[in-house]
Amino acid sequence: MFLVRFLQLRKRKETGMTQKIEIKNLEQSHFDQLLSTMEKAYRSWDGSMWKRETIDLLIKKFPLGQFVIFADGIVVGSAFSIIVDYDQFSDNHTYKQITGNYTFSTHTEDGNVLYGVEVFVHPDYRGLRLGRRLYDARKELCEKLNLQAIIFGGRIPNYHEHSQEYGPKEYIQKVKLKEIYDPVLSFQLSNDFHVKKVLKNYLPEDKQSEEYATLLQWDNVYYTPPTKIGEKIRKTVRIGLVQWKMRVFNSIDELFQQVEHFVDAIAAYKADFAVFPEYFNAPLMHEFNQMKEADAMRAMAQFTQRIKEKFSEFAVSYNVNIIAGSMPLYENNSLKNVGYLCHRNGKIDSYEKIHITPDEVKYWGLEGGEMLQTYDTDAGKIGILICYDVEFPELPRLLANEGMQILFVPFLTDTQNAYMRVRTCAQARAIENECFVAITGSVGNLPQVENFDLNYSQSAVFTPSDFAFPSNGIKSEATANTEMILLADVDLKLLDELHSYGSVRNLKDRRPDFYTLKRNRKV
């Protein structure tokens, strides 16, 4: 058999012709030929090759996800993959973690992402676009199984030749601009994959990539989110904004009583969202007033986990999605301003303040976050930005590019001019991104707590500016500096019409030929 294979390979080298290309699902009987191809494909690879028992395990767990490609009846390449619930992993995972320590225990038919485990092609057949065909087979499978995306970690094997001159970020950019050729990354970019971020220690044995890897993603544009029986996305959404009064609480249980009062009231009106302000839990800091301000903020962070859990309980029991304002989180010697989206189905998402004000840095030593995303809820696709972040138009535009319909902005401002910065910018974001924007903050005085002694707020819901919306772009607004709940209904169907038939179309009429906006992930 191997003599026949050798003669076929020699004939192809002599004639340069291949008659027939086929892609099939990998079977155990293919292993001997697969091994021969691996030996050729992995000549420059320091890691170990795939063993028969590992291949058998992949075939047993997910036969549809394992492909083998034939050229004139010879196995000349393969692609392995599994399905994972990517929500259970962060973008900072390693190959070992995502594969369950190489056992593929992470594979689940209930997952949402097709994760690429390996692709290789015999070097003598690398002029036939076999890698592209294998990637296309994966894409077809992803669409067939209605998965959100294909994700995998990719090597950058030529990086070691340039690492003295460029960091991985600069190297990737130069590969994108085709100033540097990388046999793996250049190929993946040409196949519609985009780099999400750079991974460190993804494959520790990968010396050529100097232990770096690119996290790549291809999005399935035909993906349809599953809809549970009795559950559907609402088009008319009711928002409940809590204009919170700062007051001293003798315990965290007293704070929870006040929170539950507002959640109960909002839920009674059958609202879809209950929204709390930035640092609504600031009164708890009075317990640490004897400390330095930075130490007091870190001490208050001890309540954050308990508050998150309690808000999630309220969201489920009162059947309302809760946006839990923001609060300090101290982890790994880093203090951040974070918040939590507690879905009424029990799921919890988090978000971070990305831009930190000068006072937050000066008095508390806060660091900016790196998390920016939209959230799919049972009442539409939403985005959440904390206070100062709404003053930077790039962030909402990135979220709008992902289909955001409602932007929520929990804020904290002490003076009217500070409030007007947030308000004016929020109203601009509603117009330029053709979405609804809801803002809410705190009122009242808190002289017992440093940096939170004064508070000014007028909660509001803003709309785009067109005939279907209020002429002043304001759906509803609260009484300034008064503790209260503001309830407002927004119609998401109006946004759909605006995007296509508005008198102006800010999203469609952009000039990507003249300017572009992209994410730059911190490495």
- pLDDT band of residue 200 (cuts 50, 70, 90) is confident
Same domain assignment for residues 139 and 246: no
Domain CATH number, residue 160: 3.40.630.30
Residue 127 — very low, low, confident or very high, per pLDDT cuts 50/70/90? confident
Percent of the chain with pLDDT over 90: 62
Q: Is residue 7 part of a domain?
A: no
On whether both 186 and 245 belong to a single domain, the answer is no
Q: CA angle 107-222-146, nearest 5°?
A: 25
User: Is pLDDT above 60 for 441?
Assistant: yes
Active site residue 434: no
pLDDT at position 233, please? 54
Structural contact between residues 13 and 124, judged by C-beta atoms closer than 8 angstroms: yes
Runs of H (alpha helix) within 414-476: 416-432
Assign 120 a pLDDT band (cuts: 50, 70, 90).
confident
Same domain (yes/no): 244, 368: yes
More confident residue, 121 or 374: 374
Phi-psi region of 474 (alpha: psi -120 to 50; beta: other; left: phi over 0): beta
Looking at the domain assignment, is residue 422 inside a domain?
yes
In a domain, 520, yes or no: no
Phi, psi of 184 (to 5 degrees): -95, -55
User: Domain tally for the chain?
Assistant: 2
Q: Judge whether 224 lies within some domain.
A: no
Catalytic residue among 278, 287, 434, 483: 278
pLDDT in tens, 147-191: 999 999 988 989 989 989 999 889 999 998 999 999 889 888 888
Q: Average pLDDT in the 121-150 region?
A: 89
Active-site pick, 245, 308, 353, 475: 353
Question: Could you say which of 152, 184, 219 is where a domain stops?
Answer: 219
**pLDDT tens, residue by residue, 75-100:** 899 999 999 999 888 888 889 999 99
Q: Which residue has the higher pLDDT, 272 or 191?
A: 272
Question: Has residue 522 been placed in a domain?
Answer: no
CA distance 363 to 438: 28
| 210 lies in the same domain as 273 | no
Domain end position, chosen among 219, 249, 277: 219
On the CB side of 47, how many CA atoms lie within 13 Å of its CA? 15
Which of 353-360's residues contact partners 24+ apart within 8 Å by CB, and which partners?
353/326, 353/386, 353/387, 353/388, 353/389, 354/385, 354/389, 354/395, 355/388, 355/389, 355/391, 355/392, 356/388, 357/387, 357/388, 359/451
Please choose, from the candidates 253, 254, 339, 327, the residue with its C-alpha nearest in 3D space to the C-alpha of residue 297: 327
Please report the pLDDT score of residue 205 as a whole number. 79
203-235, pLDDT tens digit by residue? 887 888 888 899 999 998 888 877 654 445 557
Are residue 175 and residue 254 in the same domain, yes or no?
no
- Who has greater pLDDT, 149 or 4? 149
Coarse DSSP helix, strand, coil percentages of the chain, rounded to the nearest 5 percent: 35, 25, 40
* C-alpha–C-alpha distance, residues 461 and 241, integer Å: 9
| Per-residue model confidence as pLDDT tens digits over 318-352 | 999 999 999 999 999 999 999 999 999 999 999 99
What's the mean per-residue pLDDT of the chain?
89
Q: Within 293-335, where are the H helices?
A: 293-300, 304-317
Per-residue model confidence as pLDDT tens digits over 26-74: 999 998 888 888 888 777 665 567 889 999 999 999 999 999 999 888 8
Helix (H) or strand (E) holding 126: none
CATH number at residue 464: 3.60.110.10
CB atoms within 10 A of CB 345: 13
Cα torsion 244, 454, 294, 371 to 10°: value is 50
Eight-state DSSP code of residue 516: -
Given a cut of 50, whether residue 434 has pLDDT beyond it is yes
Q: Is the pLDDT of residue 275 over 60?
A: yes
- pLDDT over 60 at 4, yes or no: no
Looking at this protein, which amino acid is placed at residue 518? K
Please compute the mean of the pLDDT values over residues 351-360 and round it to a whole number.
95
The CA angle 198-201-205, to the nearest 5 degrees, is 125
**Per-residue confidence (pLDDT) for residue 267, from 0 to 100:** 95
Asked if residue 131 and residue 56 are part of one domain, the reply reads yes
Confidence of residue 5 (pLDDT cuts 50, 70, 90): very low
DSSP string, 470-491: -TTSEEEEPPTT--EEEEEEEE
Is residue 510 assigned to a domain? no
Q: Whole-angstrom distance between the N-terminal and C-terminal Cα of the chain? A: 49
Same-domain check for residues 194 and 305:
no
Task: Please tell me which residue, 6 or 42, carries the higher pLDDT value.
Answer: 42
Residue 234: its pLDDT value, please?
58
Could you tell me if residue 104 is inside a domain?
A: yes
Lowest mean pLDDT among 250-259, 445-454, 504-513: 445-454
Same domain, 184 and 242: no
Q: Which pLDDT band holds residue 16 (cuts at 50, 70, 90)?
A: low
Catalytic residue among 142, 342, 387, 435: 387
Residue 407 has pLDDT above 70, yes or no: yes
Active site residue 39: no
Q: Which tokens hold the place of 270?
A: 């059958």
Structure tokens at 44: 């420059």
- Parallel, antiparallel or unpaired: strands 380-384 and 406-410: parallel
Any domain includes 12: no
Query: Measured between alpha carbons, how far is 450 from 446 in angstroms, rounded to an integer?
Result: 8
Name the residue range of residue 463's domain: 236-501
Q: Is the pLDDT of residue 105 over 50?
A: yes
**Can 435 be counted among the known catalytic residues?**
no
Residues 209 and 246 in one domain: no
Q: Are residues 349 and 260 in the same domain?
A: yes
**250 shares a domain with 214:** no
Q: Are residues 273 and 330 in the same domain?
A: yes
